[in-house]
Amino acid sequence: MGTLRVGILFGGRSSEHEISLRSARSVVQALDRRRFTPTLIGIDHQGRWHVLSDEQFLAITNATLPALTDGGPEVMLPPSPSDGELLEMIPRTPLDHLDVVFPILHGAFGEDGTVQGLLELANIPYVGAGVLGSAIGMDKDVQKRLLRDAKIPVVPFAAIAQRQWQSAPDEARRAAAALGYPVFVKPANAGSSVGVSKVKHDAELADAITAAFAYDTKILIEKGLDAREIECSVLGNETPEASLPAEVCPQAEFYSYQAKYIDEHGATFEIPAKLSVAQTAAVRNLAVRTFQVLSCEGMARVDFFIDREDQTTLYVNELNTIPGFTNISVYPKLWEVSGLSYTDLISRLLDLAIERHARRQQLQTFYRPALR
């Protein structure tokens, strides 16, 4: 039996483009070549798709924050069932057949259901949440509302649309005051702490809101908590499992983009977290429940806060459907301490994608009423 052709999709029109390349590099290097053969598909900042060789890809991903500036032939994926064929743009000829796709795309135009929708139309199995779960996971406002409706505790917040800020800025100021300073201001549809500010008093609010609106047309204002930051990885489809939790220990006031990706001393991690048996069980149970409530599949990382004062009150901060996926990222590291190696984790995710696709292929896609 031959190997399966895996399309590894990375880059993208997103403020998290560079993080995606770093995750993809790790996956390419760790992929089990006895079972899988990679096709490397880089999406540049303009949204063009390119097929790259291993050598081309590894050459552009050595920097701390790499960028896809050039590549191999430009390709397209037809939005119709086509046996997973990539077409070279000029001339428009078949290039590669894809058996399964691993989208390692963070942020807009990749983690938000858009690429997932294209892969559904093309009838290709893919890793991770489907269209609905991806869209929910991307929009922190919608995500928090659904969790709140399911009686899952979330940090108090207010959502502000850009038009609302422009026409009635006092509403945002009143919302922040009602939550109580400090607050965090963040884009509703962004990750990796892009555009996030900690605001300690009213005089800083307008600048923070302006910074967040540079990345989205909707923002969140969240109550700042004195809390421990806990992360938990979830893996599976119908019967998901949660890993042991980790604790993030930022060296600055909060876990910023700088701390995550630039400053090697920006944060330390306790893996696994130093939690009681009861706390660990609560985190893992709530991680699985959050995963299911938000219609996730494949993988997700669920981030929590535990109140420092009582060490009992637990809040879901957010769920990430495509978490950072380098070999030293928290998501795979948590599975490693739970007994699943990085290479085996990648293989398991690809298997889950193929299993889900096979199950959905059994569903009827038409209805023929009985004629009388």
Q: How far is CA 109 from the centre of its chain?
A: 12
Range of the domain at 211: 156-223
pLDDT tens-place string over residues 157-205: 999 999 999 999 999 999 999 999 999 999 999 766 788 999 999 999 9
Which residues neighbour 67 within 8 Å (Cβ) at sequence distance 6 or greater? 17, 18, 21, 45, 60
* Dihedral angle, C-alpha 26, 105, 111, 351, nearest 10 °: -50
pLDDT in the model for residue 372: 64
- How far apart CA 52 and CA 70 sit, in angstroms, is 9
172 and 122 within one domain:
no
**Is residue 24 in some structural domain?**
yes
Strands in the chain per DSSP E: 4-11, 36-43, 49-52, 74-76, 85-88, 94-97, 100-104, 157-161, 183-187, 197-199, 218-223, 227-236, 241-242, 246-250, 267-270, 298-307, 314-320
pLDDT in the model for residue 174: 97
pLDDT tens-place string over residues 125-161: 999 999 999 999 999 999 999 999 999 999 999 999 9
**Is residue 23 in some structural domain?**
yes
Residue 240, both tokens:
């998901």
pLDDT in the model for residue 74: 80
Which residues neighbour 208 within 8 Å (Cβ) at sequence distance 6 or greater? 185, 197, 199
pLDDT in the model for residue 345: 98
Domain total of the chain: 3
Residue 191 belongs to a domain with what CATH number?
Answer: 3.30.1490.20
245 and 209 within one domain:
no
126, 143, 178: which is the final residue of a domain?
A: 126
Q: Is 366 helix (H, G, I), strand (E, B) or coil?
A: coil
**Is residue 348 in some structural domain?**
no
223, 246, 267: which is the final residue of a domain?
A: 223
Query: What burial class does residue 283 get, using C-beta atoms within 10 Å of its C-beta: 0-12 exposed, 13-18 middle, 19+ buried?
Result: buried
121 and 98 within one domain:
yes
Residue 302 belongs to a domain with what CATH number?
Answer: 3.30.470.20
Helices (H) and strands (E) in the chain, counts: 12, 17
Spans in the chain with pLDDT lower than 70: 1, 60-71, 80, 82-84, 89-95, 191-192, 252-266, 371-372
pLDDT in the model for residue 45: 87
318 and 215 within one domain:
no
106, 126, 146: which is the final residue of a domain?
A: 126
pLDDT in the model for residue 296: 98
**Is residue 306 in some structural domain?**
yes
232 and 162 within one domain:
no
